[in-house]
């Protein structure tokens, strides 16, 4: 099945993250979920170039500062393995524009975990909130169900991630 390289960015402003509610794409594996902004690398792109391009395409914003926070490996029985470079950004220029993949909204960070999210996204969003230094996280799924999480080589207790 091969593998994918992706970048995902959580843009921060006034105690909020810019979140994308995936509601518009047909046959979207993220349908109905709230996620950060990002997608697959194009040929020859670095993780930073991918994040900057995707944010510009999906939001109209131009990032002027971004920070690589971690690498997340997704393993699934339904999708190819994905290596996601996870960024946060708190400096940008431009104005939000409509997104063809869903609705963009500034959501208070303390409310984000109450949204419909992938279970594994809750794990790395908590790590971001805790200001954890750079991390490597492996999330394994069977269908939509998170079956294991390994943080920096150590298996996590999934009951602690919910």
SS (H, E, C) 98-146: CECCEEEEEEEHHHHCCCCCCHHHHHHHHHHHCCCCCEEEEEEEECCEE
Q: Which domain holds residue 10?
A: 3-160
Tell me what pLDDT residue 161 has.
Answer: 64
Give the integer Cα–Cα distance in Å for 5 and 12. Answer: 23
Tell me what pLDDT residue 110 has.
Answer: 93
Query: Residue 1: pLDDT above 60?
Result: no
Mean pLDDT of the chain: 92
SS3 content of the chain, % helix, strand, coil (to 5): 20, 50, 35
Please give the share of the chain, as a percent, with pLDDT higher than 70.
96
Domain count, the chain: 1
Give the integer Cα–Cα distance in Å for 158 and 111. Answer: 21
What is the pTM assigned to this prediction?
0.93
Tell me what pLDDT residue 144 has.
Answer: 87
The CATH number for 140's domain is: 3.90.79.10
């Amino acid at each position: 099945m091969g593998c994918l390289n992706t970048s995902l960015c959580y843009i921060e402003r006034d105690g909020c993250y810019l979140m994308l509610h995936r509601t518009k794409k047909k046959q979207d594996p993220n349908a109905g979920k709230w996620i950060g902004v990002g997608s697959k690398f194009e040929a020859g792109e670095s993780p930073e170039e991918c994040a900057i391009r995707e944010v510009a395409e999906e939001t109209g914003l131009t990032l002027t500062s971004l920070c690589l926070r971690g690498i997340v490996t997704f393993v699934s029985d339904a999708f190819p393995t994905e290596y996601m470079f996870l960024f946060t950004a708190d400096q940008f220029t431009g104005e939000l524009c409509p997104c063809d993949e869903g609705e963009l909204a500034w959501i208070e960070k303390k409310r984000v975990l109450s949204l419909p999210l992938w279970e594994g996204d809750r794990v790395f969003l908590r790590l971001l909130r805790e200001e954890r230094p750079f991390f490597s996280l492996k999330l394994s799924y069977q269908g939509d169900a998170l079956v294991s999480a390994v943080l920096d080589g150590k298996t996590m207790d999934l009951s602690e991630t919910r």
